[in-house]
Structure 1
């Protein structure tokens, strides 16, 4: 039976289902070798505060904004920035922070956006 545009053959598909069966039933990794498991979050991975950004998190905020607003045409207004963040599936806390910006201000760069979000 032809399966259309599937990447794997029926045999490979069945083999992958068999390999994942323990994980799907138990809800946690079932391998005895730890190196098979995905890596947990690192301590220094960027995280975004849900509320106003304290001074020591300014760099994290700027990096997150830069990552999600890369190749965004500047100057931009709040609405354009929010639209780009949603299109690029940015985290909700980041999008909510940008939604709080004044709508009548024009931002020339990611740095301007980060400075507007940072506490004075």
Structure 2
């Protein structure tokens, strides 16, 4: 068994690397590995480009009946109300918010709640503050 040199000359190495560059690097120098019939057609002159997600509120994943901003604000409120404060009344919620170092606007909003009502969830607190929760789909 003869063990010869398996290296090629620089010119042959360069030629061989060009032959497989499309397989190694993807589209570019050697072209695409995708068959031409699999590539999407470009949009027409009066048509928008194709996207994978719709624009606007549909894209954010906000539940029906709420905007993405509403979801974010309700989530922000919930970060400052500990689970141990629920169910709880206004004073319990305020105590939890202060303990969790809530900003002034959250404290001010909780101070507007009626004193004699117990809230079971952050969504109930959110609704009592005059905001919308998601609508149920039946």
In the superposition, the TM-score normalised over structure 2's length comes to 0.43
- Greater RCO (CA < 8 Å, at least 6 residues apart): 1
Larger Rg: 2
In the superposition, the TM-score normalised over structure 1's length comes to 0.49
